[in-house]
Amino acid sequence: MYVWIWRHLPGNAWVKALVSVVLVLAVVYVLFQYVFPWAEPLLPFNDVTVDDSLPTPATEWR
């Protein structure tokens, strides 16, 4: 998979390395900005309130 991506990147090794770094940063950005905030309420790690309703996240929205 990664070898395949590496082969399809343009330029010589240095350009490929640079493009790779940019790609990695872009992926991390998308994860932190969109994917993790979306996934977090679905995971049972951070519910802090007591509640008598079903254990759904975000019991109250403003």
Partner 1 sequence: MAGTEELTDGAPRRRGRTRSRIAATVGVVGEVLITAGVLLALFVVYSLWWTNVIADREAKRQGAHVRENWARKGPGALDTKDGVGFLHVPAMGKGEVLVKPGTGSSVLNEGVAGYYRKPVKATLPWEGPGNLTLAAHRDGHGAKFHNIHKIKDGDPVVFETRDTWYVYTVYKELKETSRYNVKVLDPVPRESGKTVPGRYLTLTTCTPIYTSDYRYVVWAELTRTEKVDEKRTPPKELRG
Distance CA 17, CA 15 (A): 5
Question: Minimal distance in Å, beta carbon 4 to partner 1?
Answer: 10
Tell me if residue 26 falls in helix, strand or coil: helix
Q: Is 2 in the site for partner 1 (CB under 8 A)?
A: yes
Does 40 sit near partner 1 (CB under 8 A)? yes
C-beta of 14 vs 61, nearer to partner 1: 61
Q: Where are the alpha helices (DSSP H) in 1-62?
A: 2-8, 13-30, 36-39
Binding site for partner 1 (CB under 8 A): 1-3, 28, 31-32, 36, 39-41, 44-53, 55, 57-62
